[in-house]
Amino acid sequence: MQFIKTGFKDLWLCEPRVFGDHRGYFFEAFNKEEFKQETGLEVEFVQQNESHSSKGVLRGLHLQQGDFAQAKFIRVLHGSVLDVVVDLRKDEPTFGKQYQVELTAENKRQLFVPRDFAHGFLVTSETATFVYSCDNFYAPEHELSLSFFDEKLGIELPLSKEELKLSRKDEEALKFDDVVKKLYG
């Protein structure tokens, strides 16, 4: 696995070594020891989630607060997404900044998102199957949604707003300043 620095502390883009032949392909998607050796981070995943969505589905930006925060290891099994994270760690120089990467079944890139980041994605293919492992259990009562559309974040999406499909929760997502107030008072 190749571990690529993103410019954000503990946020890693990972590119697996893919071995392919006439039968198909194989790659190691995650190795705890190699991950620790290369990143200096120790992580123990306790939950894995999968979603399947159609083009234009916009999920997020989601995060859980405090002791319920989650680190995530993300990849796309089918299709393509624009994956977006926002750093909400107040003491980091990247606080309030966003990072975007295209994750596809073809490029097999994976993203490790540390705790205290808001995370979301936009499906850019006709359909996409998205899987992510988490180091903490889902706790809906401790979840916040940050709006993709807050101008303060400067997130540019490759589809028009009319093409997007959002849940009610994501339509009602909070602005950055409101999320920061809930997190830090």
Catalytically active residues are 62, 132
Cα–Cα distance measured from residue 150 to residue 90, given in angstroms and rounded to the nearest whole number: 18
Which residue type, as a one-letter code, is found at position 82? L
**Rounded to whole angstroms, how far apart are CA atoms 84 and 111?**
10
Q: How far is CA 181 from the centre of its chain?
A: 22
What do you get for the CA distance between the two ends of the chain, in Å? 40
Both structure tokens of 162: 């009319």
Q: Which residue has the tokens 């073809």?
A: 106
Q: Are 6 and 109 in contact (CB under 8 A)?
A: no
Extract the tokens encoding 152. Answer: 């303060």
**Using an 8 Å Cβ cutoff, are 122 and 66 in contact?**
no
